[in-house]
Structure 1
Amino acid sequence: MNSIDVSIIAIYIILTLWVGIWISKRASKGLDSYFLGGKSIKWYYLGLSNGSGMFDISGTALMVGWLFLYGTKSFMLMWLWPIWNQIFIMMFLAVWIRRSDIMTGSEWILTRFGDDKAGRASHKIVALFAVVAAIGFIAYFFEGVGKFLTVILPWDLALFVGNSEWLTSEQSYALIIILLTTIYTIKGGMFSVVATEVLQYGIMVLAGVLVAAYTFFAFSDMEITSVITEEWKTVFFDWELDTHWNSEFQKFNDLVDSEGYKMFGALIGMSLFKGFFASIAGPTPSFDMQRILSTKTVKEAAYMSGFTNLVLFIPRYLLIGGVVVIALVVLAPQMAANPNLTGGDLEILLPQVINFHVPVGIKGLLLAGLLAAFMSTFSAFVNAGPAYIVNDIYKKYFKPKATDKHYIKASHIASFSVVALGVFMGFFADSINSLTLWITSSLFGGYVAANFLKWVWWRFNGWGYFWGMLSGLVVASLQFLLDQNKANLTEGTLLFELAQMSAIFLFPIIFGFSLLGSFLGTYLSKPTNMDVLKSFYANVHPWGFWKPVLKELKKDNKKIERNSEFWRDMVNCAIGIVWQSSMIVLPIYFIIRDYPKAFISLGVFLITTIILKFTWLDKVRKIPN
């Protein structure tokens, strides 16, 4: 690596540490200050921080591979997660969540189900889920960043520790980066996380712009169009994917057939079905929820969520599109001639492009940007997970009365423990992939039904929530075990057929079992206390089936009308998904020089922005602080 690139990375790391430690003194006033920044951070800083936290290395590498192989329509594969839950949060969920005025997602559950035995059961399972997820993702980051850095950086750090059997170069790199990130995250809490993530966001944007600009000077229109087809460039699709590549790149057509996304129409249809319920369920108890709860007012929570969408996708896809163009022009012919070049793993395209095909200076900034992506996502999880340990477990059940100084120390210990446990698990690479896949496959399967019902149905209670989440998680875990052991199953049996199905197509089964657990848990136990429901509805004011609660409020002479904005919110969400999609395809079309489609995308973006100004922004402005 050139000394200029090394210097850029070193300056970035030193600057990040200095900013994080310099601002950390503001986090010592109490738990609210440590985990939520005292609800004093401006909404646009939180929006930049939230977008930065979603700009991770692993996801970027995956999207590079998808865009390379499937073309522009690959952005719809992101609906598997789904990314447009951010639109639902922006349109109405951020307002509902922030009205609770609490610290964590599991504490929010108590405002819905009460603080009795049923409410505490639901509270505990959310807190446990949040902590396990944080540990699992930290372990995943430990493995991922180590592998990334060993591909990019030239030094074998294992030689310096003297025994590569006990500490590999990958693990050494991961330990160094995690240690540096943990220092300012634990010391400064939310203040340091947001400050450093805003800095990291700027680095990532600069890297994306420079990579995109480099492709314009380095490659001609003809070089790009000679590789990609019209099918590669279109966002439209049939039930089954058509041929994406010319005959000279037949190896890539074969890869499309074998990747599992050939039945694209069915896949997107199921993604829409899953995405609707997953999005209304709301954010999982993680850093996204913490950003919402950190805003000063309900109005600013909505602003922050909308701003997150606006700042995330265009710069991210400038970087992804630029890397893909380099891979298309330079690597695609080599890969077609030698399929073993990547071993069929398209995620390796990102480090290969950086290593061999990006000029000095830009390479350093790009590496600093991707390192920033890792550090921002990692620090966000380190800040979110311990909040549930200290506030929802330690403070609530073990030491309810203590000084702020005591709780801050407990937060430091909890943060360090979460990181240490995640790193310990990260040393077992084979098992950590399984753990991460279990979390992600179970996340929406077990989380969706119960968290959807909590918003829209008054009769749904704490036991229904507990058993709904638990049954969904158990069934989703069984599905994952089937997938991991499908080689040992007898062909032709039901279990074998289920094991061959993609997890997305099994979602209705997982969702159905979770609904069954929710309904049985609800109807086999008494309803939530009406005073709790009245307080929740009067405060949050969601739409859905709340008629008995509304009647009781009217008996108390409370002038609260039924929330009748369901259809307006759904129309806004549909417009928002188009708006979000236009921000993804716009930079792609400009980078591949398809200017007619680029200007159409720009037109769609401007039109949907104007519509949302009247249907969403003007509505948010009327919300009282």
Structure 2
Amino acid sequence: MHSVDVSIIVIYIVLTLGVGIWISKRASKGLDSYFLGGKSIKWYYLGLSNGSGMFDVSGTTWMVGILFLYGAKSFMFMWLWPIWNQIFIMIFLAAWIRRSNIMTGSEWILTRFGDDKAGRASHLIVAIFAIVASIGFIAYFFEGVGKFMTIILPWDFSLMFNDAVILTSDQSYALLIIFLTTIYTIKGGMFSVVATEVLQYGIMVIAGILIAVYAFITVTDIEISNIISTEWSNIFFASQIEDTWSGKYEAFNNLIDQQGYKMFGAFIGMSLFKGFFASIAGPTPSYDMQRILSTRSVKEAAYMSGFTNLVLFIPRYLLIGGIVVLALAYIAPEMIASNQLNLDDLEIILPKVINFHVPVGIKGLLLAGLLAAFMSTFSAFVNSGPAYIVNDIYKKYFKQNASNKHYIKASHIASFVIVVIGVIMGFFAESINSLTLWISSALYGGYVAANFLKWVWWRFNGWGYFWGMTSGLIIATLQFLLDQNKANFEIGTWLYDLAQIPAIYIFPLIFGVSLLGSFLGTLLTPPTNMETLKSFYRNVRPWGLWNPVFKALKNDDQNVRKNQDFALDMLNCMIGIIWQSSMIVLPIYFMIRDYPKTIWTLVVFIVTSLILKYTWLDKVRKLPN
């Protein structure tokens, strides 16, 4: 590390801590101020903050490896999360959620199912899910930032005792960065999180542009065309992936076989199936939902969600595309020459490129940008998770009438506890990829069925929600335990065979069990109180199977109108997915110098933007402020 690069990183860390602590005084007025910024933050700041929170270093490391191996069609791997969620939120869910005017996702559940035993059971299970998800993501960040920092920085921070390793160097680095981020996040709540994330977003954009320009200048068109095949740059696919790599690079095709996604048609079919239901289920109870609830109005919630899509993907994929171009030119020949390819090599492509193939100055800015990516996402989860502990469990069931000062202190403690548990879980994580698949395919699989039904079916009640979520989470947890212990099973046993199935293919089982739990829990118990349903429908105005509630409401108020926007919303979602995908593919084609496809992708982006202007944006503008 050159002193210039070290200085840039130190300045960035000091600046971030300074801004976070300086603005933290605004968070001491109460829980609403601490967790939602008093619903006073402008939508474009929240949109930048939301985009920054999704720009994490672990995810970026994973995406670099996936783009390197699979080429342009790798953008479909993003559907695992699923990123369509952002489109569905933008088109209609942001408005539905923001109309509730509450603090957390689990508190929102009470407006749907009421505050009786069934409602409280559903409220409690979604709070538990939010806490577990926050802990899982902290473990994911811990694993990613530790590996990243160890390869980049030259100092060995291993901690030894009696010749035994107490902490590895990557664990020590991760603990240090997490400690620094936790300081301002706990102290300042949403105000500090948003302020620092806007700063961090600017640094990430600068880093992305610089690395893209550097890759464009140093790697020629001929060098790229000599490495990548026609299939690598093709976004269309058959049932199987064939010949993504050719010539002396054919060995990379073996890595595709090892990862279990060679049957690409089946993988994409499963991703589409999961993507639709997971997206219509709405945002998970985490930082994304907190941003929606933090906006000043329903209109601004929609603006913020659309703006998040616009500011996130192009800068992020300029950075990813630039790194991959450098990797293709410099790392790919080294990997082939080593003759020992394995999937773990994909996770170190990003730090290897930065360490050996990026010049002084740009390296420091890029490292600061990736540190910013980590810190922004980490702080978002540290802010969102404790809201469920304090507001939805502690305040509701244990200490209902304490002072604001007491609740803020409880929030500090809850944040600290979540970080500690997440870090402990991170110590036992196998890899970034295993955590990615557990969170995206298994854990979120348990969330989807119940949260899909809550929007579209009036008869679905609190007990159905509770048992749907619970059964899904149990199966998801069992799947995770199987995956973590697959090396211990005897080859040929049914447990061994089950543990080898990629997590995405387990999703239908998790979804089916969760759906069964949802239906049984609903049909074997009484429906939700009609007054609660009428209040929810009047406020949120969803489309779906709500006729009995609408008729009951119509008897009270003849001016009530049914939401008939289902067809338009679904059309806008389809257009939005194409719009979103074009923003991912556009920087990739630009960076690999495939100019005809770059122009076509740009045309798709412009056309879909114009369509959404008339079919979505003009409609949002008519919403009340």
Q: 2:18 — aligned with what? A: 18
Q: 1:62 — aligned with what? A: 62
The answer as to whether partners of 1:110 and 1:119 remain within 8 angstroms in 2 is yes
Q: Does 1:151 align with 2:155?
A: no
Q: Does 1:423 align with 2:427?
A: no
Q: Percent identity?
A: 76
Please, what TM-score do these two structures have when normalized by structure 2?
Answer: 0.96
Report 1:388-407 matches (<5 A): 388-407=388-407
Query: Aligned partner of 1:573: which letter?
Result: C
Q: Does 1:215 align with 2:215?
A: yes
Unaligned runs of at least 5 residues, structure 2: none
Deviations 1:400-453 (A, max 9, x none): 112212211111121122222323443445599977765544322211110000
Report 1:218-229 matches (<5 A): 218-229=218-229
Q: 1:44 — aligned with what? A: 44
Distance 1:95 1:343 in 2: 42
Q: 2:203 — aligned with what? A: 203
The answer as to whether partners of 1:335 and 1:342 remain within 8 angstroms in 2 is no
Q: 1:580 — aligned with what? A: 580
The answer as to whether partners of 2:442 and 2:506 remain within 8 angstroms in 1 is no
Query: Aligned partner of 1:466: which letter?
Result: F
Query: Aligned partner of 2:567: which letter?
Result: W
Change (3 A) 1:263 1:342: closer
SS at match of 2:250: helix
Deviations 1:466-502 (A, max 9, x none): 0111111222333334444555667666655544432
Distance 1:402 1:278 in 2: 37
Query: Aligned partner of 2:520: which letter?
Result: L
Q: Does 1:34 align with 2:34?
A: yes
Query: Aligned partner of 1:556: which letter?
Result: D
Query: Aligned partner of 2:120: which letter?
Result: R
Distance 1:303 1:474 in 2: 37
The answer as to whether partners of 1:342 and 1:348 remain within 8 angstroms in 2 is no
SS at match of 1:453: helix
Distance 2:262 2:341 in 1: 23
Moved more, 444-453 or 341-350: 341-350
Change (3 A) 1:55 1:436: closer
The answer as to whether partners of 2:193 and 2:376 remain within 8 angstroms in 1 is yes
Q: 2:326 — aligned with what? A: 326
The answer as to whether partners of 1:21 and 1:192 remain within 8 angstroms in 2 is yes
Q: 1:98 — aligned with what? A: 98
Distance 1:517 1:429 in 2: 30
Query: Aligned partner of 2:551: which letter?
Result: K
SS at match of 1:166: strand
Change (3 A) 1:344 1:15: closer
Moved more, 469-478 or 83-92: 469-478
Unaligned runs of at least 5 residues, structure 1: none
Report 1:458-477 matches (<5 A): 458-477=458-477
Change (3 A) 1:343 1:181: same
Distance 2:437 2:329 in 1: 33
The answer as to whether partners of 1:158 and 1:164 remain within 8 angstroms in 2 is no
Distance 1:151 1:506 in 2: 34
Q: 2:295 — aligned with what? A: 295
Q: 1:623 — aligned with what? A: 623
Q: 1:262 — aligned with what? A: 262
SS at match of 2:167: coil
Q: 2:375 — aligned with what? A: 375
Query: Aligned partner of 2:220: which letter?
Result: S
Q: 2:612 — aligned with what? A: 612
Q: 2:457 — aligned with what? A: 457
Q: 1:598 — aligned with what? A: 598
Distance 1:199 1:342 in 2: 37
The answer as to whether partners of 1:426 and 1:432 remain within 8 angstroms in 2 is no
Moved more, 28-37 or 428-437: 428-437
Distance 2:136 2:247 in 1: 43
Deviations 1:577-624 (A, max 9, x none): 000010001111111111111011111000000000000000111112
Distance 2:220 2:433 in 1: 40
Query: Aligned partner of 1:230: which letter?
Result: T
Q: 1:541 — aligned with what? A: 541
Distance 1:486 1:203 in 2: 41
The answer as to whether partners of 2:229 and 2:245 remain within 8 angstroms in 1 is yes
Query: Aligned partner of 2:379: which letter?
Result: S
Deviations 1:520-563 (A, max 9, x none): 10011000000000000000000000001011111112521111
Report 1:111-510 matches (<5 A): 111-158=111-158, 165-340=165-340, 344-429=344-429, 438-486=438-486, 497-510=497-510
The answer as to whether partners of 1:136 and 1:432 remain within 8 angstroms in 2 is no
The answer as to whether partners of 2:72 and 2:234 remain within 8 angstroms in 1 is yes
The answer as to whether partners of 1:211 and 1:322 remain within 8 angstroms in 2 is yes
- Calculate the aligned-residue CA RMSD, in Å: 2.0
Distance 1:164 1:300 in 2: 55
Distance 2:237 2:430 in 1: 37
Deviations 1:104-155 (A, max 9, x none): 0000000000000000000001111111221232233223212211111111
Distance 1:56 1:487 in 2: 29
Query: Aligned partner of 2:283: which letter?
Result: P
Distance 2:263 2:342 in 1: 25
The answer as to whether partners of 1:56 and 1:373 remain within 8 angstroms in 2 is yes
Query: Aligned partner of 1:63: which letter?
Result: M
Question: How big is the shift at 1:285?
Answer: 0.8
Q: Does 1:3 align with 2:42?
A: no
The answer as to whether partners of 1:425 and 1:432 remain within 8 angstroms in 2 is no
Deviations 1:216-250 (A, max 9, x none): 21111111111111111111111111211122112
Query: Aligned partner of 2:70: which letter?
Result: Y
SS at match of 1:314: helix
Deviations 1:303-322 (A, max 9, x none): 00000000000000000000
Distance 2:221 2:23 in 1: 47
Moved more, 31-40 or 481-490: 481-490
Deviations 1:365-391 (A, max 9, x none): 010010001100110010001000110
The answer as to whether partners of 2:464 and 2:519 remain within 8 angstroms in 1 is yes
Change (3 A) 1:184 1:76: same
The answer as to whether partners of 2:207 and 2:319 remain within 8 angstroms in 1 is yes
Change (3 A) 1:445 1:159: closer
SS at match of 1:136: helix
Distance 2:579 2:173 in 1: 39
Moved more, 347-356 or 330-339: 330-339
Aligned pairs, number: 625
Distance 1:543 1:190 in 2: 32
SS at match of 2:239: coil
Please, what TM-score do these two structures have when normalized by structure 1?
Answer: 0.96
Distance 2:411 2:252 in 1: 50
Distance 1:473 1:341 in 2: 35
The answer as to whether partners of 1:586 and 1:601 remain within 8 angstroms in 2 is yes
Change (3 A) 1:159 1:529: closer
Distance 2:74 2:439 in 1: 24
Distance 2:212 2:439 in 1: 34
